[in-house]
């Protein structure tokens, strides 16, 4: 599948049943909600997907199930986050065999490589697959910064086509545009910088709260790209307390609870994560339920998506 790295791409959560098995019917329900809202891709196996506690068999089932249900409407992208080049290459090969349309690729986990090692890691993987790749630049959580100099060297790989920009420095969007023009697509990976990154010229979003609020996320994207900034900002201001749930160490628990409250998910997580309890759960529920109670009507925006985009 040929696709562009643009629009809204949710980092989908993995749905679990009460007995810790994959809940594929609920997973499908969320997929359909995303597609109906107008997302442009589905990303599996990220942090929100609890990939570190999934077996290889479960990853395979999720990828194949998503491909079957999506039926080519949008690309299915598999996240690769491994500690060694060999393990990453094995996962890339599996993803290709399962039918994934593209990859989101993190730097090596646990070990922090220097510049030469980082470039060699990405080069090896890019040259070992024909799948399109989006690099994930998140030094806050993963301790490795993908510098502009590294991106300069990596530009020889045509299939490294995009960067998930999660440095939390929104001016990095402008730095990348100044240096590379449109060589790389830029997707904002920090929910609380959605408006700012899009206004600065980012091509899209890899979003978290979209898992619970797909229509509102797509509406902000469509309005900003149509130059309707005041309308986008009004929704964004309503959204901000919810978006802040994405930048916490318990983002998985928080976003899954939001999915449950909006009827397209459940709060079930896999150990060592535990579902929220006590005062913390009540506090997060308060934020979520207030957001639901004051939820803006964006149906007219989503319903006229093609006209706005054109």
Determine the pLDDT at residue 220: 98
Answer yes or no: are the C-beta atoms of 202 and 188 closer than 8 Å: yes
pLDDT at 305 over 50: no
pLDDT score for 242: 98
CB 45 within 8 A of CB 59: yes
Q: Is residue 2 part of a domain?
A: no
What percentage of the chain exceeds 70 in pLDDT? Answer: 97
Residue 57 lies in a domain: yes
Residue 153 lies in a domain: yes
| CB contact set of 79 (below 8 Å; sequence gap of 6+) | 11, 43, 44, 45, 46, 49, 51, 103, 104, 105, 106, 136
For range 70-75, the mean pLDDT: 97
Q: Is residue 1 part of a domain?
A: no
Q: How far apart are CA 243 and CA 37, in angstroms?
A: 18
Residue 124 lies in a domain: yes
How far apart (Å, rounded) are the C-alpha atoms in residues 281 and 300?
33
> What pLDDT does residue 28 have?
98
* Distance between CA atoms of residues 95 and 140, nearest Å: 27
Q: State the residue range of the domain holding 90.
A: 7-309
Is 100 part of a structural domain of the chain? Answer: yes
Question: Residue 142 in contact with residue 107, Cβ under 8 Å?
Answer: yes
- Residue range 92-110: average pLDDT? 97
Total of domains in the chain = 1
pLDDT by residue (tens digit) across 220-230?
999 999 999 99
pLDDT tier at 6, thresholds 50, 70, 90: very high
What pLDDT was estimated at residue 3? 85
pLDDT confidence band for 170 (50 / 70 / 90): very high
Where in the chain does DSSP place strands (E)?
A: 7-10, 42-44, 76-80, 102-105, 133-137, 160-165, 185-188, 204-207
Q: Is the pLDDT of residue 308 over 50?
A: no
CATH of residue 204: 3.20.20.70
In angstroms, the CA 14 to CA 48 distance is 7
Residue 309 pLDDT > 60, yes or no?
A: no
CA 105 to chain centroid, in Å, comes to: 12
The stretch 15-40 carries a mean pLDDT of: 98
pLDDT, tens digit, for every residue of 253-294?
Answer: 999 999 999 999 999 999 999 999 999 999 999 999 999 999
* Cα–Cα distance, 265 to 23 (Å, whole number): 10
The yes-or-no verdict on residue 130 having pLDDT over 90 is: yes
Residue 61 lies in a domain: yes
Pairing label, strands 7-10, 204-207: parallel
Q: Three-class SS of residue 186? A: strand
Is the separation of the CB atoms in 262 and 292 below 8 Å?
yes
Q: What are phi and psi of 11, to 5 degrees?
A: -85, 90
Q: Is residue 24 part of a domain?
A: yes
Task: Report the share of the chain in percent with pLDDT over 90.
Answer: 95
């Amino acid at each position: 599948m040929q696709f562009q790295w643009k629009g809204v791409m949710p980092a989908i959560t993995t749905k679990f049943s009460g007995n810790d098995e994959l809940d594929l019917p609920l997973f499908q329900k969320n997929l359909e909600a995303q597609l109906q809202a107008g997302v442009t891709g589905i990303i599996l196996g990220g942090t929100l997907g609890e990939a570190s506690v999934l077996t290889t068999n479960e990853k395979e089932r999720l990828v194949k199930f998503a491909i079957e249900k999506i039926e080519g409407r949008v690309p299915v992208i598999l996240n690769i986050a491994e500690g060694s080049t060999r393990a990453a290459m094995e996962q890339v090969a599996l993803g290709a065999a399962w039918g994934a349309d593209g990859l989101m690729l993190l730097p090596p986990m646990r070990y922090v490589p220097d510049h030469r090692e980082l470039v060699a890691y990405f080069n090896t993987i890019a040259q070992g697959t024909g799948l399109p790749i989006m690099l994930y630049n998140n030094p806050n959580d993963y301790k490795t910064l993908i510098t502009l100099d590294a991106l300069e060297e990596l530009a020889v790989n045509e299939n490294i086509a995009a960067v998930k920009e999660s440095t939390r420095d929104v001016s990095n969007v402008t730095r990348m545009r100044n240096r590379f023009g449109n060589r790389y697509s830029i997707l904002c990976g920090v929910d609380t910088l959605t408006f700012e990154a899009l206004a600065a010229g980012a091509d899209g979003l890899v979003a978290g709260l979209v898992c619970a609020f797909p229509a509102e996320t797509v509406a902000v994207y469509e309005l900003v790209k149509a130059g309707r900034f005041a309308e986008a900002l009004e929704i964004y201001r309503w959204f901000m307390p919810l978006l802040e749930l994405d930048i916490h160490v318990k983002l998985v628990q928080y976003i899954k609870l939001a999915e449950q409250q909006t009827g397209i998910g459940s709060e079930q997580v896999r150990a060592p994560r535990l579902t929220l309890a006590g005062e913390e759960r009540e506090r997060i529920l308060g934020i979520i339920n207030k957001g639901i109670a004051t939820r803006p009507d964006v149906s007219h925006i989503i319903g006229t998506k093609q006209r706005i985009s054109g």
